[in-house]
């Protein structure tokens, strides 16, 4: 019985010393292009206490600001209010759901968060299609596009090597006569969507490199001729070495005969 009373008093003591910390967070339901993303947060405690915390905003498809540990000394029964600012919503942001949060690190661990939306025009896929990157002068070029969205308004400008321009409606087949580098500037748009701009290049040359007249038989013949020549040179080199060896052998014989004849005398 005595032990139970001690445990009861210890429990009461611990409960009495636990900080009652209230955290509230206020953020708009949505932000649009040009608006600054921010939220307000408020701390309230029934004790004088030092708080360590991290305010943040997380979105799946935008840059996340570096996390920063903050510290504040709360006074008993006094509200502490602050504002956390992130970044301005840019036109290139995709529509998405984000979360504003405050994470308490000490004296207790606690996280309060609230979701909000970023409202911008959605994007769509768009790519120019043409046969290849290099064409022969006078060759037909087929221009087209591919997209996951229909009923697009497309403005395509063809820029010639001499910098003259021509407006083209897709799809289109054209023939070009100027040699050099051509540029394609395209802008695709649709109401309620982001505008897509792209640039592409292709080249035009005078004539295609002629590989049809190239004969691998000729290459093989040249190789065989070269191999036969090497063999003939090798044979000549061997004959020369044999003659030199025979010359020294004869010279050695003459010297031996000379010394033998001299020793007899």
What does the pLDDT read at residue 251? 75
DSSP labels for 172-191? EEEE--S-EEEEEEEEEE-T
What does the pLDDT read at residue 23? 97
- End-to-end Cα spacing for the chain: 143
Do 192 and 140 reside in the same domain of the chain? yes
In the β-sheet with 96-106, what is the strand arrangement from edge to edge?
Answer: 30-32, 110-119, 96-106, 49-59, 70-74
Does a structural domain hold residue 48? yes
Q: Which of 50, 84, 119 is the last residue of a domain?
A: 119
CATH number of the domain bearing residue 142: 2.60.40.1930
Does a structural domain hold residue 106? yes
Do 62 and 24 reside in the same domain of the chain? yes
Domain count, the chain: 2
- On whether the CB atoms of residues 214 and 205 are closer than 8 A, the answer is no
Distance CA 35, CA 118 (A): 10
Does a structural domain hold residue 259? no
Asked if the peptide bond before residue 230 counts as cis, ω within 30 degrees of 0, the response is: no
CATH number of the domain bearing residue 33: 2.60.40.10
Do 105 and 145 reside in the same domain of the chain? no
Distance CA 247, CA 90 (A): 95
Does a structural domain hold residue 63? yes
Does a structural domain hold residue 171? yes
Do 150 and 77 reside in the same domain of the chain? no
Do 69 and 137 reside in the same domain of the chain? no
Do 97 and 187 reside in the same domain of the chain? no
* Segments forming the whole domain that contains residue 39: 20-119
DSSP labels for 86-117? EEEPPTTPPPEEEEEEEEEEESS-EEEEEEEE
Quote the pTM value: 0.58
In the β-sheet with 196-205, what is the strand arrangement from edge to edge?
Answer: 134-136, 196-205, 180-189, 153-159, 165-168
CB atoms within 10 A of CB 84: 21
Does a structural domain hold residue 15? no
Burial 208-232 (b: 16+ CB within 10 A, else e): eeeeeeeeeeeeeeeeeeeeeeeee
Q: Which of 62, 86, 119 is the last residue of a domain?
A: 119
Q: What is the pLDDT along the chain (265 residues), one digit of tens a residue?
A: 444 444 333 333 333 444 689 999 999 999 999 999 999 999 999 999 999 999 999 998 877 788 999 999 999 999 999 999 999 999 889 999 999 999 999 999 999 999 999 999 999 999 999 889 999 999 999 999 999 999 999 999 999 999 999 999 999 999 989 999 999 999 999 999 999 999 999 999 998 665 444 444 444 455 455 555 555 655 555 566 677 777 777 877 777 766 666 655 5
Q: Which of 205, 236, 257 is the last residue of a domain?
A: 205
> Helices marked H in the chain — which ranges?
2-17, 216-264
Do 53 and 94 reside in the same domain of the chain? yes
């Amino acid at each position: 019985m005595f032990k139970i009373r001690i445990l009861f008093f210890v429990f009461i003591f611990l409960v009495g010393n636990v900080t009652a910390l209230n955290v509230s967070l206020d953020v708009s339901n949505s932000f649009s292009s040009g608006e600054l993303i921010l939220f307000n947060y408020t701390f309230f405690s029934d004790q004088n206490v030092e708080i360590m915390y991290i305010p943040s905003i997380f979105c799946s498809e935008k840059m996340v600001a570096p996390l920063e540990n903050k510290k504040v000394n709360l006074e008993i029964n006094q509200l502490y209010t602050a504002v956390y600012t992130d970044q301005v919503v840019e036109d290139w942001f995709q529509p998405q759901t984000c979360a504003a949060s405050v994470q308490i690190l000490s004296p207790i661990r606690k996280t309060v968060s609230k979701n909000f939306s970023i409202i911008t025009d959605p994007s769509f896929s768009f790519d120019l299609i043409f046969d290849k990157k290099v064409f022969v002068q006078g060759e037909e070029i087929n221009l087209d596009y591919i997209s996951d969205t229909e009923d697009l308004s497309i403005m395509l400008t063809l820029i010639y090597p001499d910098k003259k321009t021509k407006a083209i409606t897709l799809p289109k087949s054209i023939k070009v006569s100027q040699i050099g580098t051509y540029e394609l500037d395209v802008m695709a748009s649709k109401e309620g969507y982001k505008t897509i701009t792209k640039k592409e290049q292709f080249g035009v040359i005078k004539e295609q490199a002629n590989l049809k007249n190239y004969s691998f038989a000729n290459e093989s013949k040249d190789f065989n001729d070269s191999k036969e020549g090497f063999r003939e040179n090798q044979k000549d080199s061997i004959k020369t070495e044999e003659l030199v060896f025979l010359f020294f052998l004869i010279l050695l014989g003459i010297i031996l005969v000379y010394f033998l004849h001299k020793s007899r005398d």
